[in-house]
Amino acid sequence: MDTNHRARTPRVEGQLALAPRPAPSSVPSSVPSPAPSPALVLTASLLGFALITLDTSVVNVALPSIGAELGGGMSGLQWVVDAYTLAFAALLLSTGAFSDRVGAARAYTIGIAVFTAASAACGLAPNLGVLTGARVVQGVAAAVILPTTLALVRQAYADPAQRSRAVSLWAVGGTVAAALGPVAGGALTTAWDWRGIFFINLPLGLVALALATRLPRSVRRPAPLDLPGQLTAVLALAALAFAVIEGGTVALVALGVAVVAGAVFLAVEARHPHPVVPLGLLRNPVVAVAVAAGSACSVAFYGMIFVFSLYFQQVHHLSALSAGLTFLPLTGLIPVVNMASGRLANRYGPRRPMLIGQTVAVAGLLLLLLVGPGTPLPVMAVLLIPMGLGVGLALPPLTAAMMEAVPAERAGLAAGVLNAARQVAGGLGVAGFGTLVVGNFAGGLRTSLLISAGLLAATALATLTRLTPLRPAARY
């Protein structure tokens, strides 16, 4: 969904991979094998990227079917979504360095193999615990795959113009996969059952593995790792999600763990020579606004997809396929809006399309307050469109603004931080909104819409007041 279609490569990194930095000539490295067709490399990268992006949205409309067979209640369904999202988000902070150390092609192969095996485990899961555990493994593998796909594309195209077009195609592939997720999930669940949304990954994963055998060996670089920072980040995020989802007395303990782990994380990052999140990066106002606005967009978009997937099936008693098709006008227009937004940002700068997008998204969320049990299906599909259009319009320019605000050698790191923040925000949105709708779906839905609108309105104000003309950031 979050695609940046700017002409220059650093700006298209808004689809948020950790881009590798060029290796110093003094560092010894393995010699790459002769490159195959760039089109083959692009195909492999597109397939891997589409697989992991599809799994961020394909599960939502299958949740009622999963709950009916495996039980677990609302909290269990929230974990099915968040186990993948949070593992994916937290490990994105370090998997770019892992890809550099082992080589992009090898990391891609490892990631695809693990993702395919974990998908099989999801489809065969006998209970919710096994399914949730397998989803965690899927998320870990997805975090490995994402930075490698962009790295492979960039090394396959020597000509800058061809590379820019290839990266744009890569980004569009992820956008289309995310857009098709709810429809594909509904169709597979209706025609097969919920296990089909995971089994469909098996033939696609095997094709990706076959392509991986023909990828050129990638140059390895001794990239530093911040293991203390990565581990404390994982602990803080997992504890926070647990506190939001589970509630009760145990939530207070989990919240305390999250606070302590978060404090340790900040202390580690302030002292580590190669932190996963340089704290100085966040002191730049453009970076801070971009991260906040991107996170608000993710809370609204992913939180609403989750809640309305349940609403359509539990309140309106739609089939999984009908629920997925209801999202099609929303998701289908997002790739078009992404491209239009990139052109607007090129012409007017990032602030104007960001403000327009955030304002449209707020208006769309408030319009969704009109949805009720008697609302016809076509009307619901139309009412969802403004929220999606607004988010699709805001994301590419905010990513471009952040890429322009950091030094070129920090572009990949900044993109990774932005993507991790957005994934975490989306996961917490699912956790929080799922908890709100328990016991009173209509009231929880209204509260979720108001929270999303409030967050986007606040970041729109920050965009208006804090997003000044861009200037190079300090060297972090």
Instruction: Render pLDDT for 238-283 as a digit per residue (tens, 0 to 9).
Output: 899 888 888 777 888 999 999 999 999 999 988 888 888 888 888 8
Do 385 and 371 reside in the same domain of the chain? Answer: yes
CA nearest to 9, candidates 126, 180, 125, 153: 153
Stretch 421-436: mean pLDDT: 90
The domain boundary, picked from 273, 304, 332, lies at 273
3-state class of 19 per DSSP? coil
Same domain? For 209 and 283 the reply is yes
Please state the pTM of the whole predicted model: 0.80
Distance CA 294, CA 298 (A): 6
Determine the 3-state secondary structure of 181 from DSSP.
helix
Could you tell me if 286 and 184 lie in one domain? Answer: yes
Q: Is the predicted pLDDT of residue 232 greater than 60, yes or no?
A: yes
263 shares its domain with 286: no
398 shares a domain with 256: no
Is residue 3 scored above 50 in pLDDT? no
The total number of structural domains that make up the chain: 2
Q: Is residue 23 part of a domain?
A: no
Domain extent for 265 = 227-273
Which of 273, 307, 332 finishes a domain? 273
The pLDDT tens digits of the residues spanning 62-71 come to 999 999 999 8
Crossing angle for the helix pair 104-124 and 73-102, nearest 10 degrees?
160
Asked if 141 and 50 sit in the same domain, the reply is: yes
Q: Is the domain of 150 the same as that of 205?
A: yes
Whether residue 172 is contained in a domain is answered as: yes
363 within some domain: yes
∠427-433-438 over CA atoms, to 5°?
130
- Computed over every residue of the chain, the mean pLDDT equals 84
For residues 367 and 383, give the distance between their C-alpha atoms in angstroms, rounded to a whole number.
7
- 265 located within any domain: yes
Q: What percent of the chain has pLDDT over 90?
A: 37
Domain for residue 102, yes or no? yes
CA 425 to chain CA centroid, Å, is 9
Residue where a domain stops, chosen among 217, 240, 273: 273
The CATH number assigned to the domain holding 174 equals 1.20.1250.20
Does one domain contain both 178 and 263? no
pLDDT tens digits for range 376-415: 888 999 999 999 899 989 988 888 788 778 776 666 677 7
Kindly list the distances between the CA atom of residue 430 and the CA atoms of 248, 306, 424, in Å, as whole numbers in the listed order. 18, 6, 10
